[in-house]
Amino acid sequence: MSMKIGAEKFDERVQEGLSDTFMRGAVSSAQTRFRNGRLNAAEELGGWEEWRNLGEEIRTHTLENIDYYLDLLSEKVAERGGHVYFAQTAEEANNYITNVVKKKEAKKIAKSKSMVSEEIGLNDALKDIGAEVVETDLGEWILQNDDVDPPSHIVTPALHKNREQIREVFHDKLGYSKTDKPEELALFAREKLREEFLDADIGITGCNFAVADTGTVTLVTNEGNARMVTSLPDTQITVMGMERVAPTWNDMEVLVSLLTRAAVGQKLTSYITSLTGVKEEDDVDGPEEFHLVIVDNGRSKILGTEFQSALHCIRCAACINVCPVYRHIGGHAYGSIYPGPIGAVLTPLLGGYEDHKELPYASSLCGACTEACPVKIPLHELLIRHREKIVEEKGEAPVFENISMKAFGMGTASPTMYNIGTKLAPKVMKPMVKDEVISKGVGPLKSWTTARDFPAPGKQRFRDWYKKRQREES
């Protein structure tokens, strides 16, 4: 897998999402629960706006000085016996990691959840050299066993699957014979994956936050798989997007507090695991060898631009959980492992407009995402900026917008045309009006009304009403 998922066109992906009834039900109930969880946790904490301001302050300062903090991080990791590789591209990162695997002659690799490893297509690179990779996050393991179905949410990746489908995957691929009760399914995963943890030669993890001043990688999890992956195998490889760095433990602590509340409404997840370098001399468990791979893969292009704040993202999915568009079309429709508002901002920046130019339009610009973001990324404003750039640079606004804007321009440019146009509108549109709205438009209105209703033009124009009122008053 890489960042881009699926080969279908945007419209087709959206239609597929809209017609998946189970997925839409699952997404809307998940959104409601996540959203309520976040709001309750924020209210219980108190002063949430102050917390958001602090989050924004920390992230802004860190990104402005990111070369300094990455330098410090790498020095501190090396002091504690870890190797650090700076990878500018996905290819460089994959080459480095596959070389470590080859050198260790590793057969089995246990992996805990990492979005950046999906982004760079690490699993495919490892498969190509003949290594067996086992995803150990429950959701990721389900997807991997279902012929590598892509994730549809960055926190609960298998959100689009129901328990019958999961039972079927376990039954067909792993010989599972019990019911579709979530507890039984999870117990099966526990037993199967225990063997994998004990058997693995190498553990691979992502990184939620890396503390620069001590060289510490922090992992935020609930299941305990990241702890397994970093306690049992002899070699640990951690892959991080370069923007995951935080100056100190004090800052990491604040970001973790924001993340767990904004993501799932928890005060802290079951496990926050902070790992520094290799295990110490007398330690029994923990890795003897540790590699930290710091990945750019297009992120540096965003630095110094008006989109820099997109790199402040702490991957909580709060914006995804409030987005009305995500609610209806689901994660796969975005065609990227990063869905929802942050995905619509980030994906075109990392992957280019060519493949992802529709994404900034997959938004109603209601601003719920901006309001939900725990580090105050102005997401809907960045989406507008994307649209402006797409038009400026490429002249590539959607066809409907071009025609209707031209007609609007013509109609409003001369007083006579405006007068005629507004007078005619109710008559021209009358055949399409039903119950005061137009739900099946023709011509340029058609694209609008496939997704929502258009209000019928008023019977009386504002100007006529105003004139009449003035006459009556005088």
Partner 1 sequence: MAGKIMNKKHFLNHVAGQLGRERIMDTVERPEWKHQPQWNVLKDASQDELVDILKEQCKSIHTEVLETNKEQLSSTIQDMIKDNGGGQVVTWDDPRFQDFQVNLETQEDLNIHVWDPRLGDENIRITEQANLGITFSDITLAESGTVVLFSDAGKGRSVSLLPSTYIAIIPKNTIVPRMTQAAEMIEEKVANGEQVASCVNFISGPSNSADIEMNLIVGVHGPIKATYIIVDD
Range 63-82, binding partner 1 (CB under 8 A):
64-71, 74-75, 77-82
The nearer residue to partner 1, 193 or 314, going by C-beta atoms, is: 193
Tokens at residue 317, please? 């999915």
Which uninterrupted H or E stretch holds 235? strand 235-241
The nearer residue to partner 1, 191 or 436, going by C-beta atoms, is: 191
**Residue choice 83, 327, 385, 461 for contact with partner 1 (CB under 8 A):** 83
The nearer residue to partner 1, 31 or 363, going by C-beta atoms, is: 31
Task: Count Cβ atoms below 10 Å from residue 397 Cβ, excluding itself.
Answer: 16
Contacts of 62 (CB under 8 A, 6+ apart): 69, 245, 246, 247, 251
Is position 162 an interface residue for partner 1 (rule: CB under 8 A)?
Answer: yes
**Residue choice 264, 375, 377, 382 for contact with partner 1 (CB under 8 A):** 264
Is position 369 an interface residue for partner 1 (rule: CB under 8 A)?
Answer: no
Sequence-ordered alpha helix ranges (H) in 307-377: 318-322, 324-329, 340-351, 353-356, 368-372
Range 8-27, binding partner 1 (CB under 8 A):
26
Range 288-327, binding partner 1 (CB under 8 A):
290, 294, 296, 300-301, 303-304
207 is in an annotated binding site: no
Residue 462 half-sphere exposure toward CB, CA atoms < 13 A: 2
The nearer residue to partner 1, 269 or 363, going by C-beta atoms, is: 269
**Residue choice 100, 122, 133, 166 for contact with partner 1 (CB under 8 A):** 166
Cβ 127 to partner 1, closest distance in Å?
23
Give residue for tokens 């995803």.
135
**Residue choice 115, 272, 365, 366 for contact with partner 1 (CB under 8 A):** 272
Number of residues that bind partner 1 (CB under 8 A): 111
Distance CA 387, CA 345 (A): 10
Distance CA 398, CA 9 (A): 14
Options 158-166, 355-363, 400-408, 461-469: segment touching partner 1 (CB under 8 A) = 158-166
Tokens at residue 58, please? 């920390």
Q: Pick left, alpha or beta for residue 442 (phi over 0 → left; psi -120 to 50 → alpha; otherwise beta).
A: beta
Cβ 162 to partner 1, closest distance in Å?
6
**Residue choice 119, 135, 223, 358 for contact with partner 1 (CB under 8 A):** 223
Distance CA 289, CA 215 (A): 15
Contact 359, 344 (CB under 8 A): yes
Options 10-18, 126-134, 153-161, 438-446: segment touching partner 1 (CB under 8 A) = 153-161
Is position 247 an interface residue for partner 1 (rule: CB under 8 A)?
Answer: yes
Range 86-105, binding partner 1 (CB under 8 A):
86-88, 92, 96
Contact 369, 49 (CB under 8 A): no
366 is in an annotated binding site: yes
Distance CA 10, CA 137 (A): 29
Is position 202 an interface residue for partner 1 (rule: CB under 8 A)?
Answer: no
Question: Which residues does the annotation place in the binding site?
Answer: 313, 316, 319, 323, 366, 369, 373
